[in-house]
């Protein structure tokens, strides 16, 4: 088994396997010494975080006013 194919080039951690048969003794030793890859998945890294853009901005209220969402009916 080529260790370069199972080790992340960025963080040197062991990449997750898609098949349980690839978990060999050599892979186990690499996991113990290097740990698993901690890099974000490629799809997550490529997509920008749009949650902050979609949330409404806090509006400043004059002191003493309670936001309508906090008033009990």
Predicted confidence (pLDDT) per residue in 12-58, tens digit? 999 988 888 888 999 999 999 999 999 988 765 555 555 555 555 55
DSSP state of 46: H
Cα separation, 68 vs 60, in Å, equals 13
DSSP 28-72: HHHHHHH-B--SPPHHHHHS---HHHHSPPPPPPPTT---GGGS-
Confidence of residue 5 (pLDDT cuts 50, 70, 90): confident
Which pLDDT belongs to residue 63? 63
Sequence-distant (≥ 6) Cβ neighbours of residue 61 within 8 angstroms? 67
């Amino acid at each position: 088994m080529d260790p370069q194919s199972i080790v992340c080039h960025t963080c040197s951690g062991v990449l997750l396997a898609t098949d349980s048969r690839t978990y060999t003794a050599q892979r186990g030793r690499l996991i113990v010494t290097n740990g698993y890859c901690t890099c974000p998945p490629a799809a997550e890294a490529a997509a920008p975080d749009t949650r902050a853009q979609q949330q409404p901005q806090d509006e400043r209220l004059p002191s003493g006013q309670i936001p309508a969402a906090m008033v009990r009916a």
